[in-house]
Amino acid sequence: MKKKNAKDYAAQCLRDEAEALLELIPQLDENFDKAVTMIYNCKGKVIVTGVGKSGNIGAKIAATLASTGTPAFFINPLDVFHGDLGVMTPDDVVLALSNSGQTDELLRFIPMVLHMNVPLVSMTGNSESLLAKYSNAHIKVWVKKEACPLNLAPTSSTTAALAMGDALAIALMEMRGFKPTDFAQFHPGGELGKRLLTTAKDVMRSNDLPIIPPEMHLGEAIIHVSKGKLGLGVAIVDDKIVGLITDGDIRRAMEKWQADFFDKTVGDLMTRTPKCVSPTTKITEIQRIMHKHKIHTVLVTDTKKHLLGVVDHYSCMV
């Protein structure tokens, strides 16, 4: 018989945990709906609690909830007995995690929750546990066995609890109509946050812009477009934009007009309705415009169509 190697053990662990996650789907019932409704209607915050590995998972669930529009934080039930109970109010909801539902430190915390009339949502693998029975809504997270070969170390059970926490957060996001811009407000330092909050004003080039008159001959315009290093020239009359030419326009014009090329002017070639945006336009919207119209640059203007700057494709790559 072939001896198993480390990859074989790892593959079995992943199969066991994947199976445990799929087995959660039939466990979803009206209690899950009730828990989501309770948290959605919560006027305070969600206080997540748990001990040991369940506490570690609870801390991650609290972080996920907080970053997706549900005010939440984690508290260790042991700290409640030393002053942290003061953070809890009747407007809050407590989400308690325990695989057995019989964790002593957690059960000693529950009477305080009930005494303050704080709604309690539990997440356990045992629907008959004391924690489940005292809860307003119990989310069942039962697993057939742990991925641990001894069936002792919390593995499948903690993975299942983590996934159920994600399911709770996603359901709440959908109910709130949570949008990418909302996500960005909670993640201003991340790449997505930067892209969703950055505006044209933040990235536009506003100095040494390649401004040319429409009567300029194309032979001279080539020089200005090249010096501008933006691959374009903006035609302006009386401080207002009247057109735009790009280096691509110039190359195509040379092929089309050949010997007559140097007799042509910017006005003969320019696009008279270039795409313009305001300084407050988000770069995600600018990227959408560029993709839709298959262009690489937009002009930034004020309400009177005065040129303020230029945003190109590379400027949007924050």
Any domain includes 274 = yes
One pLDDT digit (tens) per residue for the chain, 318 residues: 567 789 999 999 999 999 999 999 999 999 999 999 999 999 999 999 999 999 999 999 999 999 888 999 999 887 776 556 667 889 999 999 999 999 998 898 888 888 889 999 999 999 999 999 999 999 999 999 999 999 889 999 999 999 999 999 999 999 988 776 666 666 555 555 566 778 999 999 999 899 999 999 998 999 989 888 888 999 999 999 999 999 888 889 888 898 888 889 999 999 999 999 999 998 889 999 999 999 999 999 999 889 999 999 888 875
- Domain assignment of residue 128, given as a range: 6-178
154 and 243 housed in the same domain: no
Strand, helix or coil at 9? helix
Question: What phi and psi values does residue 125 have, to the nearest 5 degrees?
Answer: -95, 5
Radius of gyration of the chain (CA): 30
305 and 209 housed in the same domain: yes
Among the candidates 145, 178, 211, a domain finishes at 178
CATH of the domain at 230: 3.10.580.10
Helix ranges restricted to H, the chain: 6-22, 30-40, 53-67, 77-80, 104-115, 130-133, 156-176, 180-186, 191-197, 200-203, 218-228, 247-257, 266-269, 283-293
215 and 167 housed in the same domain: no
Any domain includes 195 = no
Angle 165-168-171 (CA atoms, 0-180°, nearest 5)?
Answer: 150
Question: What phi and psi values does residue 73 have, to the nearest 5 degrees?
Answer: -155, 160
* Token pair for 223: 């020089």
Say which DSSP state 228 is in: H
